[in-house]
Structure 1
Amino acid sequence: MASKTYKYFILTGEPGVGKTTLTKKLVKEIVGKGVKTSGFYTEEVRYDRIREGFDVVALDGARGRLARDQNLLKNPVKHKVGKYGVLVEEFEIIALPSLVKPNDSQAHLLVIDEIGKMEFFSEKFKNTIHNIFSPSSDYTVLATIPVRKSDQLIESIRNHKQARVWTVTRENRNSLQEEILNEINKTISF
């Protein structure tokens, strides 16, 4: 019996457990094997060990603000998560262009860290995610999603028949890398 191959490799887990760190390690390893990547990750922004917000960082190095503590913003924002104001337009400027697959036939991995509440304030991003995970999509994706049930689209990703989902914990975050690489390798052979 042949083992099942997947198109979507999904990491979930509690905030701060190490999903982004694991994603970065996986990307470094995959790029080292000659696979093209595009996409983005989100990164905490800290000053004097105090979290001020989050940036969106494209794999090509472009960086922009995703969210900031509202006390640090000059103007009020429409969308908020906790004490953070979400800067939708700045997020879109970096994130949306990074979610494009190259036109060549070379193996490619799309990286989306994270598909979550802040990012979904962008309707353009939400529509793009819907297309990436649609039946006609030819993307191979490594993505992170929140552990808690939330948006219907996120739940459809979590339960997608072509998705393999790993729950990252403090106990397993350093041992999952090989298993995930092996699964991705079945799909894009590196």
Structure 2
Amino acid sequence: MGTNVLLTGTPGVGKTTLIRKSLDRLDVRCGGFYTDEIREGRRRVGFGIVSLAGDRGILAHVDIKSRSRVGRYGVNVDDIERIGVRALEGALRDSDLIVIDEIARMELYAPSFKRMVICCLDSPKPVLGTIQERKDPFLADIRRRDDVTVVRVTEANRDALVPRILDALGTITSL
């Protein structure tokens, strides 16, 4: 089974930046997705979901009317499936490293996403991703897996973590 490295920490601490810096140091085929903020001026109004192949959708937005909500954001389950799940399916098929940024409350509204996360973690391919700190049975089960290394990111340690992440990924760095 592959080695899976999941970063956790408070919002805005630099988890996605660490993933990007780690990917820059690897010469392997990567697939998957990341999330980013949607802003109007200085105000955050939502979150985007972007595949590493460049496909983009809306993960959640203040203007989305949905039964699936996190705070003031309506969650767009269709784009989680269209962008996120498809990106993970492609990564399982075609990549050396699977990127899942992130596994969190918004994404968990899509049952197909939860199933695909487990498929990725169960695969022989390593996963590099982020996982929300919140208490949730699904997230807790992932954190407890023997094949998952959880790395807590803080402002104090983040600048030194890329080598640790690459080391935790192990054999992928020698491909």
- TM-score for the superposition, normalised by structure 1: 0.84
Rg (Cα) greater in structure? 1
Q: Provide closer, same or farther for how the CA distance between residues 37 and 158 of structure 1 changes in structure 2, counting only shifts above 3 A.
A: same
Counterpart residue number, 2:116: 128
Counterpart residue number, 1:143: 129
Residue 159 of structure 2 corresponds to residue 170 of structure 1: no
Give the stretch that moved more between structures: 80-89 or 13-22: 13-22
What CA distance in whole angstroms lies between the structure 2 residues aligned with 1:173 and 1:51? 24
Q: Kindly provide the CA deviation profile for residues 79-116 of structure 1, in whole angstroms up to 9, marking residues without a partner as x.
A: 00000000110221111111123656xx7000000011
Structure 2 gap segments, 5+ residues each: none
Please identify which structure carries the higher helix content.
Answer: 2
Counterpart residue number, 1:94: 83
Q: Provide closer, same or farther for how the CA distance between residues 130 and 102 of structure 1 changes in structure 2, counting only shifts above 3 A.
A: closer
What CA distance in whole angstroms lies between the structure 2 residues aligned with 1:129 and 1:25? 22
Residue 92 of structure 2 corresponds to residue 108 of structure 1: no
RMSD: 1.8
How many pairs are equivalent?
Answer: 174
What CA distance in whole angstroms lies between the structure 1 residues aligned with 2:159 and 2:146? 26
What CA distance in whole angstroms lies between the structure 2 residues aligned with 1:154 and 1:26? 23
What is the DSSP-based 3-state SS (H/G/I as helix, E as strand, rest coil) of the residue aligned with 1:99? Answer: helix
Q: Provide closer, same or farther for how the CA distance between residues 168 and 6 of structure 1 changes in structure 2, counting only shifts above 3 A.
A: farther
Q: Kindly provide the CA deviation profile for residues 134-165 of structure 1, in whole angstroms up to 9, marking residues without a partner as x.
A: 3xx22210011012321x22112111111111
User: What percent of counterpart residues are identical?
Assistant: 39
Residues 55, 64 of structure 1: 8 Å contact kept:
yes
Counterpart residue number, 1:23: 19
Displaced runs of 4 or more, over 4 A: none
Deviation at 1:130? 2.2
- TM-score for the superposition, normalised by structure 2: 0.91
What CA distance in whole angstroms lies between the structure 1 residues aligned with 2:172 and 2:153? 21
Q: Name the aligned partner's letter for residue 144 of structure 1.
A: T
**Equivalent of residue 52 in structure 1, options 45, 52, 64:** 45
Deviation at 1:188? 4.9
Counterpart residue number, 2:174: 189
What CA distance in whole angstroms lies between the structure 1 residues aligned with 2:2 and 2:82? 30
Residues 130, 153 of structure 1: 8 Å contact kept:
no
Residues 108, 188 of structure 1: 8 Å contact kept:
no
